[in-house]
Amino acid sequence: MVDFHCHLDLYPKPVAVVNQCKEKQLYVLSVTTTPSAWIGTSRIAKDCPRIRTALGLHPQLAHQRSHELEMFDALISEAKYVGEIGLDGSKDFKPFMEAQLKVFRHILKTVNQAGGRVMSIHSRSSASAVISELATCDCIPVYHWFTGNKSELQQAIASGGWFSVGPSMLSTKKGQELVAMLPRDKVLTETDGPFAQFKGNSLMPWDVDLAFIQLAKIWNLDKNDAIEVIQGNFRRLVSFA
């Protein structure tokens, strides 16, 4: 199973979570929210080849952490994956859009110069802007928990985007409608734990299992066939990394 967007370092006991992922042979993209978190977060998964740590600077922190861009640039050669990055146009973060854009553009330029990366992308209330910024970057974007409208989704699909979807997105009607529109060969599963919750509890990486049940329903497949689709997609995606 694959959890392509999880914040392992933000669980109360990250090492215990890593150990369970290892036991369950789970593939995890462990995203970070600041460059300074990347080193320690990589370290807790250093004995787990199935866990990859992505270098990120979360758009909700962009206005406070732009001084860490230098560190981002210094670490990019060691990081095969980038995320969580992007823009957030929701009410609380829209006032910082200028700082967010500065950070996002800097990161895309760095990634371009480094030869491109597979990247986990945040695009809440900013899908159109994110799509147009990404057009400048030679990279593979994986839109995580896409919440834009249908025309924005069509643009993201047309631009070659991939999508990671999880139990939270898949339990809303809007989320289900968006997921039904996705090309099956561009879909991955995620939890966005511990931020994302399901029925009041923080999702654990292995709760990605819930997403397979929901995807199978939408695709009219057996759960095992849905798992196979995602595993095939995952193998194809990591071959680009």
Residue number with CB closer to Mn ion (88 or 192): 192
Give least dist CB 195 to Mn ion, A: 6
Give least dist CB 33 to Mn ion, A: 8
Q: Peptide bond preceding 35: is omega within 30 degrees of 0, i.e. cis?
A: no
Give least dist CB 223 to Mn ion, A: 25
* φ, ψ of residue 17 in degrees (nearest 5): -70, -40
- Pairing relationship of beta strands 51-53 and 2-6 according to DSSP bridges: unpaired
Interaction with Mn ion in 150-209: which residues (CB under 5 A)?
Answer: 192
Residue number with CB closer to Mn ion (3 or 84): 84
Site string for Mn ion, 49-88 (x = CB under 5 A): -----------------------------------x----
Q: Do residues 48 and 22 touch, judged by C-beta distance below 8 A?
A: yes
Give least dist CB 192 to Mn ion, A: 5
Residue number with CB closer to Mn ion (112 or 197): 197
Give least dist CB 175 to Mn ion, A: 15
- Cα–Cα nearest to 192, from 164, 231, 227: 164
Give least dist CB 57 to Mn ion, A: 12
Give the number of residues in contact with Mn ion, rule: CB under 5 A: 2
Q: What gap in Å lies between CA 123 and CA 138, rounded to an integer?
A: 18
Residue number with CB closer to Mn ion (189 or 217): 189
Residue number with CB closer to Mn ion (56 or 212): 56
3-state secondary structure string across 22-62: HHCCCEEEECCCCHHHHHHHHHHCCCCCCEEECECCCHHHH
Distances (CA, A) of 17 to 13, 110, 199: 7, 31, 20
Residue number with CB closer to Mn ion (42 or 191): 191
Count of Cβ atoms closer than 10 Å to residue 107 Cβ: 26
- Cα–Cα nearest to 94, from 47, 126, 135: 126
Interaction with Mn ion in 81-120: which residues (CB under 5 A)?
Answer: 84
Enumerate binding residues for Mn ion (CB under 5 A). 84, 192
